[in-house]
A and B are shown apart, each in its own frame.
Chain A
Amino acid sequence: MNKLKVFFIYLILSVAALVSLFPFLWMLISMTNKSVDITQGSLMPGTHIFENLSNLFENYSVGSALFNSFFIAIIATVLCLVISSLAGYGFEVYQSKGKDIVFTILLLSMMIPFAALMVPLFRLFGNISQVFPAIGVDTLYAVILPYVTTAFFVFFFRQNTKMFTKDLIEAGRIDGLSEIGIFFRIYLPSMKNTLAAAGIISFMNNWNNYLWPLVIIQSPENQTIPLLISNLGSGYTPDYGVIYTAIVIGTIPTALVFFLLQRYFVEGMTGSVKG
């Protein structure tokens, strides 16, 4: 009876695993096939991988797109971690009358879909361009700035700060540490898991971000990987082999980041704090 139960559990899990892994398998197989074979649904690995790779790298500026994507994702993630952790810490540790109202307003901003913010945001950057063209429309900074922090990450850090032993702060104060010193020397080191979890989410969000870079980036030399992939499929006769090759290349960094930080990620999401 027990064995039967286990068997069914594994059966269901195997089906679920197959369903979630199949797209990845399809992506990897298609990378090795010709466009015609892909449209006809071939599930056999082909021999066209080097042609696809050379077509992609010769005809499209993959290198600069990768650089731009890394640049945006890394800077936005680092800034996001610094600002959100400061904000989350401040909201939880310090007492102030209006703090809960401010926090509620902050949380409400999570309810507004990005599509509604896009036009005013574009207008804002259009105006910024007049004064500081270096961070205006069609620059990588314009992609980064709206994402340096979001209400979600502030909320995330505040929730995790609840687990943080407040006695440590008192101990730090008694030992003569400044407030910023407590934050950097006591708080941050014990929040590694939270930082890793937030870092992964932020990196992936920024790496995969499509809509905002699409409208704010115009020059081909500033385009990111998702924009490049979107362009590849834009023709009346798209080369699916090249498209899937680009998708695989675009997936590798996020997969790497995730696998490297996976251990912290799970702990960070469940809210554990290292003392």
Chain B
Amino acid sequence: MKKWMIAITIGLLILFVSACSSGEHTNGEGSSDADVITAWAWDPLFNVAALKLAEEYYTQENEGFQLQIIENGQKDIVQRLNTGLSSGTMNGMPNIVLIEDYRAQSFLQAYPDAFYDLSEYFNIDDFADYKKEPTSFDGGQFGVPFDTGVTGLYLRTDYLEDAGYTPEDLTNITWDEFIEIGKDIKEKSGKYMISVNPNDPDDLRHMIQTAGVWFTEEDGRTADISDNEAVREAVRIYNALQEEGIAHINTDWSSRVAAFNSGSVVSVAVGNWMTPNIKAEESQAGKWTIVPIPRLPVEGAVNASNQGGSSFYVLNIPGKEKAAEFLASTFGSNEDLYQDLVTEIGAIGTYLPALDGEAFQQSDDFFGGQPIIADFITWMEEIPSVNYGMHTYAIMDILIGEIQKYKDGKSLDDALHDAQKQAEGRLIN
């Protein structure tokens, strides 16, 4: 019995001593130290790589500038930011954080004092129009726009040819026309037209943006679902894709990628950031092309939309001026950086003066020599600007449930009416 006591005591002692020694190096490194600017971002191959590239450019002229990039999943970053900001201490917060455009307003409006106004550091008019709404609030400009989520309809030209279609037949069409062609192709060749995840209707977002509206009214707070024609049409079409038997069903990211890598689908309607995943299957080189995304069959809808995309924000803590200057002279104004972002990372920025550069005109052999970047940019300029508001993901969660009931036989009117009621009850205005 003595042995137990001794073992526990010694164990504790050893751990305590080693704890003290490891405590030293963990200590004192935080964002409160303004000599090192910290940044939170997700995806090592995309956003983090872009930040590193920007750092390279910046340190050429600003010796001694140090950027510490902390890589986390997007959901993890959201969780951390929410906890840190709502605790009100600003402790351990980064100087720079990447936030998805859909979520930006929920942070800016909930914690207006937590972010640093960048209006005087760069000119937002240099950026694509649709990036302004999400990144600004109450007259202040808080985000430096980064990548575009401009969408396209990726098409398998060989499958189309087999069924007697050309990519032109699918250019500038409506989603209803898309379904008709899909049914015909399914009948002729047995191939699914598109892949859909019934539990993650993120397609609804790019569908309704073609009509220039969102799930909330202009104020970004009041739910606008049951009387919103675009939402109604999008839900109807999203359901029809599955009901008509032209959609291959995926359940998560990996099965979504597998659907086109394995050649199971004719088309992918998605943001341009999917390109690396499409090109990952090298055996399909030359068999893909990209055309504008279908539009909703409502008045004023265009064949251009956005899915995802994010921007950089500076937190209102020591080091904010340094962080703001870094962002302003890189992502905010450096044309050369944007050329490198395209060629080295495949990231398409939204900084308009850089878009005429050579890097943006390259043709891509994987897509049969199509200048895909230039095409994406053309469509990007047509993306209708909308206010993503504060509740995008909360409303999506409500819609998932109601769409399921609609699928099970509830009328579309009732489903949308109930979604509207739930949103009004749940969302804080």
Binding site for B on A (CB under 8 A): 36, 38-41, 71, 74-75, 78-79, 81-82, 118-120, 122-123, 125-127, 129, 133-134, 136-141, 184-186, 188-189, 211, 214-216, 218-222, 227, 230-231, 233-238, 240
Contacts and interface: CB of A to CB of B under 8 A. Distances in A.
B89 to A, nearest CB: 3
Contacts of B273: 236
Contact of A122 (B25, B72, B89): B89
A214 B261 CA distance: 33
A222 B91 CA distance: 16
Contact of A133 (B28, B76, B89, B261): B28
A221 B25 contact: yes
Size class of B's contact patch?
A: 35 or more
A185 B6 CA distance: 11
Contacts of A137: 30, 89, 91-92
B5 interface: yes
Interface string B382-405: 000000000000000000000000
A163 to B, nearest CB: 18
A78 B12 CA distance: 7
Nearest to A192: B4
A36 B280 contact: yes
B30 A71 contact: no
A129 B86 CA distance: 17
B22 interface: yes
Nearest to B259: A39
Nearest to A188: B4
A237 B79 contact: no
B1 A40 contact: no
Given A118-B83, A215-B80, A230-B73, A133 B276 contact: no
B91 A236 contact: no
- What secondary structure prevails in chain A residues at the interface with B? helix
A185 B2 contact: yes
- What secondary structure prevails in chain B residues at the interface with A? helix
Q: Which 3 A-B pairs have the closest CB atoms?
A: A126-B89, A234-B73, A126-B91
B27 A119 contact: no
Given A214-B80, A236-B45, 18 more contacts: A71-B15, A75-B15, A78-B15, A119-B83, A120-B87, A138-B92, A139-B23, A140-B19, A184-B4, A218-B70, A219-B26, A220-B71, A230-B76, A235-B43, A235-B44, A236-B43, A236-B46, A240-B254
A214 B4 contact: no
Contacts of A78: 8, 11-12, 15
Contacts of B1: 184-186, 188-189
Contact of B261 (A40, A75, A129, A215): A40
A186 B44 CA distance: 56
A231 B73 contact: yes
Interface of B: 1-2, 4-5, 8, 11-12, 15, 18-19, 22-23, 25-31, 42-46, 70-74, 76, 79-80, 83-84, 86-92, 94, 253-255, 257-258, 261-262, 273-274, 276-277, 280-281
Contact of B42 (A39, A75, A188, A234): A234
B11 to A, nearest CB: 6
Contacts of A236: 43, 45-46, 273-274, 276-277
Q: Which residue among B11, B27, B45, B254 has the maximum number of chain A CB atoms within 10 Å of its CB?
A: B254
A139 B87 contact: no
Contacts of B253: 238
Given A36-B280, A138-B30, A237-B45, A71 B22 contact: yes
B70 A219 contact: yes
A136 B84 CA distance: 13
Given A39-B255, A141-B23, A188-B1, A71 B45 contact: no
Contacts of B281: 36
B258 A40 contact: yes
B42 A139 contact: no
A135 to B, nearest CB: 8
A214 B276 contact: no
A231 B72 contact: yes
A125 to B, nearest CB: 7
A50 to B, nearest CB: 21
A222 B43 CA distance: 19
B15 A127 contact: no
Nearest to B2: A185
A184 B5 contact: yes
Nearest to A40: B258
B43 A234 contact: yes
Contacts of A230: 72-73, 76
A86 B124 CA distance: 62
Contact of A38 (B11, B29, B254): B254
Given A39-B257, A122-B83, A184-B1, A234 B76 contact: yes
Contact of B92 (A39, A218, A220, A221): A218
Contact of A125 (B43, B73, B90, B91): B91
A71 B19 contact: yes
B71 A231 contact: yes
Nearest to B71: A231
Contacts of B90: 126
Contact of B46 (A39, A123, A126, A235): A235
A133 B24 CA distance: 10
B273 to A, nearest CB: 6
Nearest to B93: A218
Contacts of A125: 91
14 contacts: A75-B15, A78-B8, A122-B83, A184-B1, A188-B1, A218-B30, A218-B31, A220-B70, A220-B71, A227-B76, A230-B73, A230-B76, A234-B42, A235-B43
Contacts of A82: 8, 12
Nearest to B46: A236
